[in-house]
Structure formats: structure tokens, C-alpha cells
Structure 1
Amino acid sequence: MSSYVGLAALAAALSSAASAQADIAAQATTAVSAAEVAEIVVTAQKRSESLQKVPLAITAITASELERSGIRDLQGVAATVPGLNLGEQLGVAKITLRGIGLESLQPGAEGSIAFHVDGIFISRSVAALASFYDIQQVEVLRGPQGTLYGRNATGGSINITTRGPTEELSGYASLTAGNYNQIVAEGAVGGAIIPDVLSARVAFQTQDHDGYGKNVVTGNEIDDLNSRAIRGSLRFTPNDRLTVDLKADYYRRSDHSGGYHYLGGGAFSAPGVPITPFGLTLFGGQAPSNRRDLANNVDPTNRVRFWGASGRISYELSDEIDLVSLTAYRKLKYQTLSDIDSTSAPIAPIYQAEQDRQFSQEFQITGNHDRLNWLVGLFYFNENDRGQLAIPFDNFAFFPPPTNYLTQGYWGGGFIKTKAMAVFGQATYKLSDVLRLTVGGRYSTEKKRALDQFLFDVATPFDASTPANLVLQPPAGTISQPGSERFNSFTPRIALDYQVTPDVLLYASWSKGFKSGTYSLGTLSPPVNPEKVSAFEGGMKSTLFDRRVRLNLAGFYYKYSDLQVGKVEDQSTVLENAATATIYGLEAELQVRPVERVRIDANAAWLHARFDEYVSRDLARPFGDGTTLINGNPAFNLAGNTLSQSPNFTFFAGAQYTLPTGAGDFTLRGEISYRDRSYLTAFNVPYLSQPSFAKLNAFLNWTSVGEKISGSLFVRNITNKTTVSSAYVSSGLFGFPINGYLEEPRTYGATIRYAF
């Protein structure tokens, strides 16, 4: 509670400071000074409003901020958002926000952070790793968003808005070249086809770079990138009341990224007795001497393709009431290949594949009256997701000695068909000129029908002529278990905000979040229970000292029940319900324009994310903690452990200085990000963690007179830190190797851009 007392004291002090300088601000000229922090408009509550007037913890990253720091993906965004962490495993994004995120990589797994593009919910986490291009704004809503967003938003929501068509001819072209033979080309062009009636925009991006490491067995590069993307949009405005926006996009990636990196033995089969992976002992294989490299008998592959189309129809029923319809269809397919034993021995490749199609329809009616803003809506979602995880392996563990040929091994997969419906509403009423009350709620019902399929076959030879990552048909002998379950929930929200001065807002809220139960395909286990959270949040949003300072603070307290936690058991990742977890913390975001040419931006987050009750087995340490049992089996009492990917403290700061010249403006910018130790599993063992680290970036940006041409020289991760984004202990069948993924090494290069 002392943290909240400190927050309240700081808010009161800043409110007093704001009042003291209000008279000065009132006498200021109405012209916008170049030394002011710019106002940001967000759509977090599904209507356009100032960031500083929304009683939510939101980070908004504008197009200009993305460009100045060369941010093209969620990894770049993560450092600039308090409490946001991003990992990766087999090409799937593991997004964590305030300690809550994706815990399973089994086919059909879903995260707890909702991901939206142009208002459309994107179910599959693999799509979140696609690159950004022609982006208008990125908004990250922290905390449960159960009322307006609902599905899979117990931890928060990431909303990406792309640029739409304009009446005037406009666009840009840019080219980036860097080390590792990086080449990124992107551009867009748009304008009116029929003035004031029909306009269009087309944008594209290509990305290529060589590998950050190599497979020392084959000599080929790994962790390279080859992607292509295109998006088209049309805007039809036949009259002043009706607007129709149509968008379609396509993305494909095909390279040798996403392979497991060998991070050592480290696991213990008995107290104090380390296990060396069998690929290095029984098979006499090798492991790479450099973490960036692999020593695999096969090269990793990563193939992703998805496309989608959406339509947004907005109609003004009256001057105060609008009707909006959002319709979308999306299709995705991805295939990955890696080596789960992480050595050069031919023991166990791992194939993962998924095919998904989703349809969604949302209707919204919004009203804007004198003292009341309101929104009611209906949401429908239909998804058919089919996936598999296949691990053919040498059967030496069952029929020694090593045979040097693969058997069918493990195959797990099936399908999950989801139908979700929701009705929701929210209203904000002005109790007075400075006090507003917001009340909202959402009723969700979700039915999942699954076919869970499993095979463990150590006798039948694996047919390498039909690799498992290219087909989604189960092998002969597969055990199938059908299942069906319905999950219902009501998630309310209530918030109160007080406009202390025109530039200082205080707010407090209580809300609930819900993530439906689901199946872990390939495990033949019953569905986990829904994940639920009750959340309290309070904060302050302020713009101080003649709009030269923007300071936003937030404090939060969460109580989770039936938290869905993933862990490795044998060859698969199993979801199970932790009993309860408590999460609380403080966050701060700061922007300062002390003088016209200088800009400083920073954020910091302190997070306490702990299990209250959680007992689980760790097959890499089968003797448990010596006192805890589950069904008579040794286990660990994890109460008090930190949730995975939840560092206690994170910090980011950027500073820049702009020098005007006759050739244009030159801006020198530096950035530093710091992240405390992150445990990568709930067991909180040191060998499955990333120790604290700091990273440095530097930029020299230039904008020509007239602002049509711009350029940038950049260096990211200046000190070339090698950091782990996710890791786990693999199966005991292979000697418990530790597999993981690494963040990018030092990269540098130059960008030139022309806008019109």
C-alpha cells in the first residue's frame, strides 16, 4: 500500500504545480509552440479522443515516432511501452503485458493480449510477428479490456492503425541498407480516383537480411529474413453521412529463422547431478561454441502466409448517433522445422504447422450528447484452427543402442472450432464539468469444439518423403478424443475521472477480465478452466509547464484466478490452471520539451507478479522440492514465484537534439533500455532466465527543407548484447537440453526516404 500512498502524494504535488502555473498558461498565446509536446488522438474507447482525457493506461506511438527510431515490429515497440515484453518460439509471438501473456505453443493456443489491426481482432499470435509498414499509430492498452474488446484481452490489447486513403495524391518510398546485407524497401501511394467520392491507397514492403548465425553442420546461414507484404485500401464516400472502407492485405515469409538455440544442459535429474544432452554423449554429436549458431543435422525453416479482407461501414444516423459495421475474413498457414535435441546428432527434428481461418462481425452504435457519450455493440467470431506438432525420433531410449534412424515418435494435433458471441456497452456521463463516470459491461459466450489427437509410436519408421510439416493429416494409429465446452462470462467496468485542472486528470477504475477455457491439442487432457481477473487501477495524466511536460502515472492491483500456465511435459506443452496470482505495480511515462530543439522521452515500470497458490511437477527435476506432492508424485510449491517474462523493473529513456541548417534539420538521438532479470518459466530456476541487461541505440536523422526527403543513420544494440527472449528444458528422452531463442544482435545501416 505504501506504493499507492507514494503515487497519491506525487499526484497531489503535481496537481498543485499544475494549478500554480495555470494562470501563466492562460495568458499564453494560442499558437502551438514548437517546444510543446504534441497532442495525441487515440481510439482506445472506439471513438476519437485525446490521449490525456482517457481514463486508461495507454501508450500511443505515432508514425513519426516509429520512423525516428526505425521501429518495424513489436520487438521495437516493446522497449517503449511500460510492462510490455516479447518473446518468440517456433515463429510464434509470446506477448506479455504486466506479467500476463501466451503460455503455450501447442496447436490452437491463444494468448491473453488481444491483437487488433484496423479494429479487426487477429486470433493467431504468429501474425503479430509480421512487420509494420505504412502505419498511422500503435496503441497499447495495459490492463484487462473486458468491456470493449473482450476476447483474449485479460492482459491488455495492442491496436495497430494503418494509413487510409487521402483525397490528395500522397505517398512515400524508402530504402534501408545495413549489415547482414539488410535491404528493406517500402512505399505507398494513394489519392482520389473520383474526387470526394472514391479514393485508394496501396502500400508494400520487402525485407531481406542474411543470417545472424549459421548451422555449423551444414554451413548454411540461420536466423535470416525474407518477407513480402502488400496492402490495398479503398474509401467510398457517396454522401456526407456514409463512409465505406475496404482493405485487403497479404503477407508471406520464407526463410531459415526460428530454430531452437542450444543454451546448455543445466537441468538436473537429481539434486546436484547435471544431465548432459544425449546427443553429445550417446550419439557423439556436437553443440555450437557460439550461441548465435546452431549445430543441427537439419536447417531450420520458417514459412508463413496469411491474407485477409475487411470492410468498415460508418453511417451517421443523426448528428449525434453513428452506426458502424466491421466485417473481416482472414486465413493463415504456417510451417516450421527445428531440432528439439539441439545437437548435430540425428535424434529428433520438430515440425509444427497450423492452418487457420476466421470470420468476425461487429456492430457498434455510438452516441455523443451534451453530457453523455455511449456505445453499444454486438460481436460475433467464428474460427476453425487446425494444427499439429510432430517429433519423429530415434527410439534408443526404449530399444538401445542408438539406431541412427527415426521412428514416427510423437504426433499431437487436431482442431479447435470456436464460436464466440458478445453484447457490450459503455457510457460516460459528466456528473459535473470536471467529474465523469464511466460504466460498461460485456456478456460473452464462447463454445469450443475440439478433436484432440495423439500418437506415440517408437516402432514405425518415419517416412521422410512426406515431412510432417507439409501435411495436416494424422498418421495411422492416432488416438482421437472429441470434446466440446461452452464458457460464459460477464465482465463489467466502472471508472471515475476528475479533471483537476484543464491539464491534469486523475482517474480510478475497477474492471474484470475473462479468457475462455481451451484445449491443449495433442495431450488428450481435459480443457483448462477460464482465466479470470479482477483489476483495480488508478492514475494521473498531466500536461504541465506550458505544455512542455507530459507526465502520466498508473498504479494497478490484479487478482487472477485459474491463471492458465503452460509447461513442458514429455514432448508437449501442457496448459494447467494455477490457483491464484496477485499482480501489482507502478508505471510512469514522461515526455519533456525543455527547449525547442531538445526532446526527452522516458518510461519506467515496477512490477510485482507472483503466484499465490500453484503446485506443479517439473519433469527435469523429478524429485521435487522434497515436501510437495501431486497425486503422490514429487512436485514443487511455486507460491511466491514470479510469473514468466515478468521482470521486476524496466526502464527506457530517449533524448534527441535537433540542429537546423540550410540543408535541413539534423537530429541526434540516443536511447537506452533496461530490463531486470526475467524468469522464462514459472519454476524460476537461474538456467531458465535472462539476467538483467541494458541496450543502447543511436540515430542521426535528417529532414530536408520542405520535409520531402529524409534520411537516417542508425545503430541498434550498440554493445552487441546477446539476450534470450524465451527458453525451456526439453524432454528427458533427449537428455533435457535447454532450448531457447535470441534477440537481435547489433545492427546498423542507413535509410533514405522520399515523401510526397
Structure 2
Amino acid sequence: MSQITRSSVRRAAVLSVSVLALAALPSVAMAQTAAADTAKDDGEIVVTAQKREQSLSDVSVSVSAVTADKLASTNTAGIEALQNLVPSISFGNDFNFAKLFIRGIGLSSSLPGVDPSVALYVDGAVVSLAQAQLGSLFDLERVEVLRGPQGTLYGRNATGGAVNLITAKPTEETRGYARLTVGGPQLNLIGEAAIGGKIAEGVLGRFAVRAIRRDGYGINEVTGNDIDNARQLSMRAHLEFKPTETVDILLTGEYHREDDRALAIKFREVSFPGVLTDANPANDGLSALGQRTNLDGSQARFSTNPRNLATNFDPINNRTQYAFTGAITVEASDAVTLKSLTSYRKFDAIFFQDFDMSTYLGYALAQTGPIRSSANHWQPVFENQFSQELQGNVDTDRFHGVFGLFYLDERINAENHIGLDVLTNTDPFRIQFDGSLYVKTWAAYANVSYELSDQFTIKAGGRYSWEKRRLVNNTGIGDGPTGFLLDSVRLGIPMWDVAKSWRDFSPSLGLEYRPTDGVLIYANWSRGFKSGTAEIGSTRRTSLTQPLPFVDPEKVEAYEIGLKFNGATFDANVAAFFQTLKNGQFSLTRPIPAPPFFTSTLTNAARSEAYGVEVEMRWRPTQAFTLDGSVAYLHSTFTNFRASDPLDARLFAPGADPNALLKDLSGNSTRMSPRWSVNLNPSYRIEAGNGGSVTLASNFAYRSKQYHTEFNDDRLAQEGYIQLDANILYTHPGDRFTANLWVKNLTNELVYAGSFSISTSRAIGGTLMPPRTYGVTLGYKF
């Protein structure tokens, strides 16, 4: 009872501070309005977060926008760097999956089949697969990040939030740019260019390309080859037709290719330290593979540097994705716009890594006799998705409405093989988690607002979703006497070939109040929904009566109050929120009595709640100096969660009962949920005598401690860190030529983007954010 009371007091305190901030800012607004307009920024940021063009300060939702100039000056090339520019967003990465978290809600599974909790869109078309979210950011107009449940404005469900990449579109005038980056200490070459303009009467086009070639951030100490290098090529083409003044047809083609040795998990430490030196020989089987002796008598070892590997094979990261999108916009009248958005996306990836993260060559189990087995991991994923969205926008003096229909058809085929030789499939003892998932989704949504007066506006929205998923599994485990067998052969029962569907209605309500020009106060309530599903290949069927492998939908309910102020020299956005998550979808590792002595199970294991405050501001006291900044406080914890910890050695004792070793995780922090996030980006422009300018800028990013596991184990966590970036930008007279000298992660912080306890190798691994990098970027635009 006392814990509940303290929690309630903390929430009340945070919300009280928020209300005081909301009350105080209007007085600041009046003071700022009286200030001189000489320092007002000429470049107002316009967003389409609510499906119509609005000033960022006039949107009554939590949305941040990162402009193309900001992306270029900070040398932001991938989605992982957004966490240094936007509050309350965290980026994780393991097993080739992008794991975006917003306000403590994100993807915890590392097997295909589970939807991301944070949706990613390119010009409104969803990128459904988490692995496909790791593409390059290039030739963008801006990036919009919406925090909180999304479903009444976008086609796809999202319980955590949404990231929308707005690409640069064709223009009537011929425009373009070219940029070349040369960096070190790893030789880093980035070439990027775009050109667009009028092709013929009523026909516009634009083509953009980016190529990245970078040496590795580390090496494989066994092979001597670079790892975490980059070999990427991205292209995008727009073709826009304007047959009449009221009809616009935009055709887009995208291509992205990677072929390098990136994203493999690096060794952090062994899972069960001390088992080889204690007095109980029965515990020796819990030693990490990298602690054991090879058959040739050599001692296995791990890497000597956290950015290196010491593995018998180099990792493979081979990904190709392309997309075709058609957007047809018809202005039916001055108030009504109709839009059709059709998209097809294909994603193919082959990912391989040495799971034991060591020089171990393989071992013989009692079940396999002389046959050796090891923990090499092979994971090809092939996905096709087709989506169709029909949208109607109504925009009158007082009524604004968005009405949409959405359809998604997706197929994911995945393999997960673990064994000694998974590249040629000659190892008779290995683990196979293969299967396919077929997804069909229909949805109807609406979001409307009505201006009761010049000061008051009411909003309402709703989304009806129908989702159906069919799982076809093809799992199995090999043994010594008979070689590899599928479960269907071993058990004499059919594999999973089952389907299930879900329905949901998620409403939203809101209120806007504008006490004076430049001040918006709002309150929102919304519910979000993420479909029930199953991980591909994760569940072994052991009997005909075993329950279906599907988990129930994940649902969130969110409350938010906020204030946005747009003044002469100072802009500020403040949001306070409280949200509850029910039936959180978590992937948990649990022991089993037969080889490989573990399995992964997706389960509705958790309830959590989060509350916090986010403050974004921009201060420009003079034309020369600008300070952008944000501060976010997040308290995100489990309120009901019981599970057995896969790093509890007692689970692997003979006859152990996992149900007797359940831990109460209530009060533990959710994954990727730093309590404090701070971003500061000051810049100062110095006018040069020749008419050009030099801009000095830096970026300060702080994240407090965040856990990569719901068990809040310090061994799978990232301690609080500060990351400093800086750049000096020279702009030639006429703004055509630029030279940007930059450095990122100035103090060379070692930051883990994700951590994972690998059961097959009894070791803990992690993926790392880039080390210190620096270089110069030369640009020319026309």
C-alpha cells in the first residue's frame, strides 16, 4: 500500500509541476510578444502530422520535426541518431532488428512476426517490418516524430508513436545538390546527390542517390577482417504528373542495398560467472562456450576489445529492399481533398553471426556422441507487403476532418538455424526455427476537429481494426542417433498451421484552447492497439492439446496535457503525459529439459505504466545565436509482471521447476526507458567579410541509465552517458557552396544500443553505437 501511495505522490508531483509550467508560460508569451521582431526566425517549420499543413506550434499533439538542414549539419545518416535530436525516443538494435522506443513502449521480440510498437512511414506509407526500419535517411525534407498512440491519423496501428520520413519532392525549377563526406579514423566516404525539376509540361521529376563506404569500427581478431563496416547504396526517384490543376499523381521508387559485416553482437561478459571454480562440478555445463577447451586442445577465447570480435567466421549483413508507391491526390473542391496511397515493398535479408562470440570450434553433447555442435546463427528473412490507403480530408473555416480506409497484406518467411555449419547445412545437430506468417489487415479511421470559437476547439477520433494472422511453423531439433528431424516427424503430429483474427475499436478525444495569439493549450485522451500475433518459429508443438501460439493484442491508454508557445524570440512546447500498457508482448527465454535446453516464448506477460514531462524550446535572441533544446523526464515501470530470469542458474538444475522461480518484476523499469533525456543544440553564426558566413554549432545529448531487459540486470544495461557533437559550417556567398567540418561522439563514449543473453552460448552480448567519428562534408546546391 505504501508503494502505491509513493507512486501516486510522484505522479501527482510531476503533473503539478507540469500544470505550473503550463500556467506560467502564457505570461512568458505576453512578455515575448512585446519583444522586437528583429530576431524572429524566418524559417517557420510546417508539418503534416495531422494530415494538413500546419505550423509546428499549432499542432495539438506531441510532435517533433527535424529539418533537412539539421540532418545535414549534424551528419545524421541513420534512424538511430534521432535519439540525440528528439526527446523521449530511444533506439535499440539486436539480431538485425531496429527497436524504436517512445515513452517506454517499443519492440522486445528478436524474432520476425511481431509488429513494431513505433511505426515508421515514408511519405505516409508504412514500413511494416522492424528489420526494414534500418534503412538510410537521405534526401529528406524533414522527419516528424509523433509521441503517444497513433491510429486515427495514420494507416497502421502504433501503441508507442510514429516516425514519418518526408522526402524531398520535385519542383518546377531545376534544383539539386551534391555532397561528399570524407571522414576518419575509419575511412568514411559518403557521396550524396539529387536533382529535380520540370521534365515536360505537367511533368516533374527528382532523382536522389547516396552511397556509403566505410571501414569497420572494429576487427575480427581471428580473420583480421573489418567488422561493423558499411557498404550501402540508396536511391529514390519521384515522377510527378499534374494533368489538371486539381489532380496530382506522384510515383515513387526506392532502393536500398547493404552488403557488409555489420550489426553482429559483441561479447560483454559470461552469463554464469564462477561456475568453473565453484565446488559443484554439475555447474560446469553452464560455462560459456568461449571458456571451454577445443577438441584440438586450444583454449577458446573472447575478443580483447569490446568493439572487436574473436569468432571463427565473419558476420554477414546482406540486405536489399525496394518499394514502389503511387499517391493520387484530387482536390474535389476548395474544402475536400481525396487521396489514394498505394505501396508495395519487398525486403530480403541474410544475416549470419557466430553466436558464441568466441574462438570455440564446437563441442560434443551426450545426446550427439562424437557429433560436434556450436552456436553459429543463420537468419534469412524475406518479406513482401502491399498496402492501400484511401483518404478524405475536409478543411473548412471551422471543421477539419480526416477519414481513411486502410488495407495491408504482408507475408514474412523466416529461417533461424543454430549449429556448427549452418552455411552449408551439413551439421546433423542443429536448431531450426523456420516458418511463415501471413498478415491481412483492414481498418477504418477518422479524426475530426471543430472550432467552437476563435479560442476553443474540440477533437474526436476513432479507429476500427480487423487483423488476421496465419502462422505456419517448421521447427525442429537434431540429435545424434537420427540426425536432424522436424518436430512433425519426431512427434508424429502436424506442425503449426493455424490462424486467428482480432477486432478493436480505439477512440480519442481532445480539447484545444487558444487564450492569445501564439499560445495553444491542449488536452488529449486516446487508446492504442497493436495486433495479437506469434513469433515465427518460436514455439515448439509438443502435443495436440497445446494452446495456440498466438498472444493477445497489446493495448495502451494515454492522457496528455500540453502547451505550445510561439513568440518573437522564444518558442516552447511542454507536454505532460500518463499512460498504461496492458498485455505487453514480451519474448522470454525459458529452459526445457531436452536439447538445446531452452526455447523462446512470446507471451502477454506485463502491465506497465508511464508518466513524464517533455519540454522542447527554441531561443533566438539575435539573428546570430540560436539555442534548440529539450528535456524529458520519464518514469516507466511494470505494475504487474512475473517471469523467471534466464540468468538464474537455478533454472538449469536437474528437476528445476520454473514456476517456483518466478520473480515479481513490479516496480522494475521497462526496457530502453531512461529517466532523464537532455538535448542541447546551440549555434552561432558569424558573418564573413566576403558575404559568406561561418556557423559554430554543437549538440549535447544526455541519457540516464537504461535497461535492456525487464529483469533490470546491470549486465544488460547502459549506464548514463553524455555524447557531444560539434561542427563548423562555412557557407559561401550565395549559399551555394558549403564546407562542414564535424565530429560526432567527441569523447568516444562506449554506448550499447542493445544487449541480449544468448542461451546457446551462455554469454551476454550487445550491439554498440558508433565510436568517435570526424570528417569534412563539402556541398554544392543549385
1:362 and 2:385 matched? no
Write the letter of the residue equivalent to 1:578.
Answer: A
Does the C-alpha gap of structure 1 residues 503 and 60 become closer, same or farther in structure 2, counting only changes over 3 Å?
Answer: same
Could you say what secondary structure the match of 1:562 adopts? strand
Say if 1:105 and 1:573, in contact at 8 Å, map to a contact too.
Answer: no
Say if 1:407 and 1:460, in contact at 8 Å, map to a contact too.
Answer: no
Match of 2:764 in 1: 738
Q: Give the 5 Å matches for 1:377-526.
A: 377-393=404-420, 406-459=427-480, 480-524=495-539, 526=549
Which of 534, 552, 557 in structure 1 is aligned with 2:557?
534
Say if 1:103 and 1:575, in contact at 8 Å, map to a contact too.
Answer: no
Say if 1:150 and 1:442, in contact at 8 Å, map to a contact too.
Answer: no
Structure 1: distance between partners of 2:461 and 2:615:
26
Match of 1:192 in 2: 198
Say if 2:153 and 2:402, in contact at 8 Å, map to a contact too.
Answer: no
Residue 474 of structure 1 and its aligned partner are, at CA, apart by 11
Residue 691 of structure 1 and its aligned partner are, at CA, apart by 0.8
Which of 644, 647, 653 in structure 1 is aligned with 2:680?
653
Could you say what secondary structure the match of 1:706 adopts? coil
Could you say what secondary structure the match of 1:75 adopts? helix
Could you say what secondary structure the match of 2:291 adopts? coil
Match of 1:398 in 2: none
Write the letter of the residue equivalent to 2:609.
Answer: T
Does the C-alpha gap of structure 1 residues 571 and 241 become closer, same or farther in structure 2, counting only changes over 3 Å?
Answer: farther
Q: What CA deviation, in whole Å up to 9, does each residue of 1:547-596 have, x standing for no partner?
A: x1111111110111101122334665432112411111111111111111
Structure 1: distance between partners of 2:238 and 2:95:
32
Q: What CA deviation, in whole Å up to 9, does each residue of 1:390-409 have, x standing for no partner?
A: 101499xxxxxxxxx94431
Task: Say how many residue pairs are matched.
Answer: 725
Match of 1:76 in 2: 81
Q: What CA deviation, in whole Å up to 9, does each residue of 1:249-308 have, x standing for no partner?
A: 111100011111000114469899795413322432111111011000000010000101
Structure 1: distance between partners of 2:353 and 2:483:
16
Which of 114, 123, 136 in structure 2 is aligned with 1:118?
123
Say if 1:557 and 1:583, in contact at 8 Å, map to a contact too.
Answer: yes
Structure 2: distance between partners of 1:620 and 1:577:
20
Structure 2: distance between partners of 1:572 and 1:329:
34
1:681 and 2:709 matched? yes
Say if 1:677 and 1:689, in contact at 8 Å, map to a contact too.
Answer: yes
Q: What CA deviation, in whole Å up to 9, does each residue of 1:398-444 have, x standing for no partner?
A: xxxxxxx9443111021110110011111110011111111010100
Structure 2: distance between partners of 1:111 and 1:308:
19
Structure 1: distance between partners of 2:291 and 2:236:
47
Match of 1:466 in 2: none
Residue 157 of structure 1 and its aligned partner are, at CA, apart by 0.2
Match of 1:86 in 2: 91
Match of 1:665 in 2: 693
Which of 722, 726, 734 in structure 2 is aligned with 1:706?
734
1:603 and 2:630 matched? yes
1:14 and 2:16 matched? no
Q: What CA deviation, in whole Å up to 9, does each residue of 1:421-470 have, x standing for no partner?
A: 0111111100111111110101000001111221111338999xxxxxxx
Say if 1:302 and 1:334, in contact at 8 Å, map to a contact too.
Answer: yes
Could you say what secondary structure the match of 1:480 adopts? coil
Say if 2:474 and 2:537, in contact at 8 Å, map to a contact too.
Answer: yes
Could you say what secondary structure the match of 1:522 adopts? coil
Structure 1: distance between partners of 2:356 and 2:487:
23
Q: Give the 5 Å matches for 1:128-277.
A: 128-149=133-154, 151-179=156-184, 180-195=186-201, 197-267=202-272, 276-277=287-288
Structure 1: distance between partners of 2:711 and 2:335:
54
Structure 2: distance between partners of 1:644 and 1:714:
32
Write the letter of the residue equivalent to 2:434.
Answer: G
Write the letter of the residue equivalent to 2:13.
Answer: S
Write the letter of the residue equivalent to 2:431.
Answer: Y
Does the C-alpha gap of structure 1 residues 474 and 596 become closer, same or farther in structure 2, counting only changes over 3 Å?
Answer: farther
Residue 21 of structure 1 and its aligned partner are, at CA, apart by 4.6
1:643 and 2:670 matched? yes
Identify which range, 519-528 or 679-688, moves more after superposition.
519-528
Q: Give the 5 Å matches for 1:303-342.
A: 303-342=318-357
Match of 1:723 in 2: 751
Write the letter of the residue equivalent to 1:280.
Answer: Q
Does the C-alpha gap of structure 1 residues 79 and 571 become closer, same or farther in structure 2, counting only changes over 3 Å?
Answer: farther
Could you say what secondary structure the match of 2:415 adopts? strand
Structure 2: distance between partners of 1:323 and 1:744:
44
- TM-score between the two structures when normalised by the length of structure 1: 0.92
Identify which range, 454-463 or 98-107, moves more after superposition.
454-463
Q: What CA deviation, in whole Å up to 9, does each residue of 1:486-538 have, x standing for no partner?
A: 01100111110111211111100000000011101212261111000110011
Does the C-alpha gap of structure 1 residues 244 and 310 become closer, same or farther in structure 2, counting only changes over 3 Å?
Answer: same
Write the letter of the residue equivalent to 2:384.
Answer: R
Q: What CA deviation, in whole Å up to 9, does each residue of 1:582-634 have, x standing for no partner?
A: 111111111111111111111111111111010111222043799xx987431
Structure 1: distance between partners of 2:262 and 2:487:
26
Match of 2:49 in 1: 44
Structure 2: distance between partners of 1:54 and 1:649:
25
Match of 2:13 in 1: 2
Residue 66 of structure 1 and its aligned partner are, at CA, apart by 1.0
Does the C-alpha gap of structure 1 residues 474 and 722 become closer, same or farther in structure 2, counting only changes over 3 Å?
Answer: farther
Residue 198 of structure 1 and its aligned partner are, at CA, apart by 0.4
Say if 1:359 and 1:383, in contact at 8 Å, map to a contact too.
Answer: yes
Which of 586, 594, 601 in structure 2 is aligned with 1:565?
586
Does the C-alpha gap of structure 1 residues 659 and 474 become closer, same or farther in structure 2, counting only changes over 3 Å?
Answer: farther
Structure 1: distance between partners of 2:217 and 2:94:
17
Could you say what secondary structure the match of 1:88 adopts? strand
Identify which range, 275-284 or 559-568, moves more after superposition.
275-284
Structure 1: distance between partners of 2:434 and 2:421:
21
Could you say what secondary structure the match of 1:500 adopts? coil
Could you say what secondary structure the match of 1:452 adopts? strand
Q: Give the 5 Å matches for 1:296-307.
A: 296-307=311-322
Structure 2: distance between partners of 1:475 and 1:81:
49
Does the C-alpha gap of structure 1 residues 558 and 607 become closer, same or farther in structure 2, counting only changes over 3 Å?
Answer: same
Q: What CA deviation, in whole Å up to 9, does each residue of 1:316-371 have, x standing for no partner?
A: 11111111000011111001000111111122110111100011110111111121
Does the C-alpha gap of structure 1 residues 311 and 305 become closer, same or farther in structure 2, counting only changes over 3 Å?
Answer: same
Q: Give the 5 Å matches for 1:23-38.
A: 24=34, 33=38, 35-36=40-41, 38=43
Structure 1: distance between partners of 2:701 and 2:478:
48
Residue 674 of structure 1 and its aligned partner are, at CA, apart by 0.7
Match of 1:554 in 2: 575
Match of 2:773 in 1: 747
1:293 and 2:308 matched? yes
Match of 1:400 in 2: none
Write the letter of the residue equivalent to 1:536.
Answer: Y
